[in-house]
């Protein structure tokens, strides 16, 4: 998408629900888009699926500008994006197979071709034996699998998930996330976009991620890059320091340290303590294994008798990024 803008009017007030969103996602990758309520996520889904026209800007798939399409071409363009909703919205009176085959039915695919395609799609999503069942007989996770099979029926180039796991329990969520990765591995020409407010989803399956706020992309990049920035907003969201007791100035100075890869497994705090001749304590932290790399984000307390800048210099010498927590908190507030 290039410079995508959507302006709504609430009375006389202009609301820029999307304000110049540009994003390019390569085939074969899973890109997460996260944002708070009101960030513009639903508007983005509507503009990408051409249910709503952007005020300006373009949506391109493999070099074809979907936003330029009209009438018949618009219907064809829409099929290039398969949409999976939070809840599958299935026809209760139709079998699972007929639900999955519905997009093929309305595009005039003959019944025998349709049956073969539906059987293949049901196998792909792990529902090979459920074609004759009705939606009411399925669990939430199975219904979501049906929604995914239906979205894939027209062989889209882009699979767009709008909060795909928000209505599911943690175990079913992980099963659906595993399925999304499996689909991407199965079709390496597919672009997968996942709009979510769940950080777990991004951490578990996304190759890259964008932060949407006020209709703008504030930060974007490969998961391992955005997480590896001590002062990044995505890093805070994905690898945040958990709440901890408040620390009085008399007890020392707080320092945040972020290390990745092999360094994350090294005792850098103990090494820095030894180097500066003071006992640095760990107050809180999170250590995560993301996209094959370990990241460690710790909040340290440098005792009053030691120089926090010496500790920071030593931690940096050891290959970690380190800064005074007060500086980072001020930046976040700014
Ligand atoms: N049809 C509309 N008319 C007027 N304003 C709208 C319309 N749709 C969205 N907006 C405004 O655009 C902004 C972005 O809304 P949007 O629904 O896209 O956000 P969101 O990130 O999806 O939020 P949520 O997670 O709460 O659904 C909001 O300020 C919203 O009030």
Among residues 197, 212, 233, the one where a domain terminates is 233
Q: What is the mean pLDDT of residues 232-258?
A: 93
Same domain (yes/no): 201, 296 = no
Domain that holds residue 256: 243-333
- In a domain, residue 238? The reply is no
Residues 248 and 157 occupy one common structural domain: no
State the CATH number of the domain containing residue 312: 3.30.70.260
Q: What is the pLDDT of residue 332?
A: 52
Establish if 303 belongs to a structural domain: yes
Q: Which residue has the tokens 């998961």?
A: 223
Considering the domain architecture, whether residues 247 and 114 belong to the same structural domain is answered as no
Quote the pLDDT of residue 118. 97
Same domain, residue pair 206 and 248:
no
- Pocket probe for ligand 1: among 6, 9, 37, 40, the residue whose CB has the most ligand atoms within 8 Å is 40
42 alpha carbon to ligand 1 midpoint, in Å?
A: 7
Buried b (16+ CB within 10 A) or exposed e, 294-315: ebbbbbbbbbeebebeebbebb
Name the domain boundary from 189, 209, 233. 233
State which of 14, 38, 49, 197 you would mutate to test the pocket of ligand 1, scoring each by most atoms of that ligand within 8 A of its C-beta: 38
Residue 264 scores a pLDDT above 60 = yes
Domain shared by 75 and 94, yes or no? yes
- Could you identify the atom of ligand 1 that is nearest to the CA of residue 197? 25
270 and 140, same domain (yes or no): no
Residue corresponding to tokens 């708070």: 36
Give pLDDT, residue 331. Answer: 58
Statement to judge: residues 229 and 253 lie in one domain:
no
Tally of domains in the chain: 2
Q: ∠ CA(195), CA(198), CA(200), 5° rounding? A: 115
| Cα dihedral sign, 190-196-202-204 | negative
Geometric angle at alpha carbon 273, from 271 and 276, rounded to 5°:
110
Among 185, 207, 233, residue at a domain's last position: 233
Residue nearest to atom 12 of ligand 1 (CA): 17
* Same domain for 253 and 221: no
pLDDT tens per residue across span 160-179:
999 999 989 999 999 999 99
How remote is the CA of residue 195 from the centroid of ligand 1, in Å? 14
Domain match, 278 and 147 both: no
> Which residue in the block uniquely carries the two structure tokens 């979510």?
196
Residues with beta carbon inside 6 Å of ligand 1? 8, 10, 15, 17, 35, 37-43
Report pLDDT for 74. 81
Mean pLDDT over all residues of the chain? 93
- The predicted structure's pLDDT at residue 50: 87
334: confidence class by pLDDT, cuts 50, 70, 90: very low
CATH number at residue 37: 3.40.50.300
Going by alpha carbons, the residue nearest to atom 4 of ligand 1 is: 8
Reduced to 3 states, what is the DSSP secondary structure of residue 67? Answer: helix
In order, the DSSP letters of 167-227 are TS-HHHHHHHHHHHHHHHHH-TT-EEEEEES-HHHHHHH-SEEEEEETTEEEEEEEHHHHH
Residues 23 and 144 in one domain: yes
């Amino acid at each position: 998408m290039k410079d995508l803008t959507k302006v709504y009017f609430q009375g006389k007030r202009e609301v820029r629900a999307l304000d110049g969103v540009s994003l390019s996602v390569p085939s074969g990758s899973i890109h997460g888009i996260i944002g708070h309520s009101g960030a513009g996520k639903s508007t983005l889904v509507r503009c990408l699926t051409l249910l709503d026209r952007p005020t300006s800007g373009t949506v391109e798939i493999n070099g074809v500008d979907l936003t330029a399409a009209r009438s018949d071409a618009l219907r064809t363009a829409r099929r290039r994006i398969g949409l999976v909703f939070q809840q599958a919205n299935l026809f209760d009176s139709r079998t699972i197979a007929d639900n999955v085959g519905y997009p093929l039915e309305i595009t005039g695919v003959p019944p025998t071709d349709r049956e073969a395609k539906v059987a293949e799609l049901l196998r792909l999503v792990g529902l090979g034996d459920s074609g004759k069942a009705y939606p009411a007989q399925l669990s939430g996770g199975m219904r979501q699998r049906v929604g995914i099979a239906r979205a894939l029926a027209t062989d889209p180039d882009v699979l767009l998930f709008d909060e795909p796991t928000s209505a599911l329990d943690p175990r079913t969520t992980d099963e659906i996330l595993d399925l999304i990765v499996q689909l991407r591995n199965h079709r390496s020409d597919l672009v997968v976009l996942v709009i979510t407010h769940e950080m777990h989803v991004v951490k578990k399956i996304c190759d890259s991620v964008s932060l949407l706020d006020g209709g703008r992309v504030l930060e974007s990049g490969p998961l391992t890059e955005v997480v590896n920035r001590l002062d990044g907003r995505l890093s805070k969201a994905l690898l945040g320091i958990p709440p901890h007791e408040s620390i009085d100035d008399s007890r020392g100075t707080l320092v945040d340290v972020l290390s990745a890869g092999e360094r994350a497994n090294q005792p850098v705090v103990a090494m820095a303590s030894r180097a500066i001749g003071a006992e640095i304590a760990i107050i809180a932290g999170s250590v995560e294994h993301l996209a094959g790399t370990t990241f460690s984000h710790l909040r340290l307390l440098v005792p009053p008798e030691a120089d926090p800048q010496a500790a920071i210099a030593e931690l940096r010498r050891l290959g970690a990024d380190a800064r005074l927590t007060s500086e980072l908190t001020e930046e976040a507030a700014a």
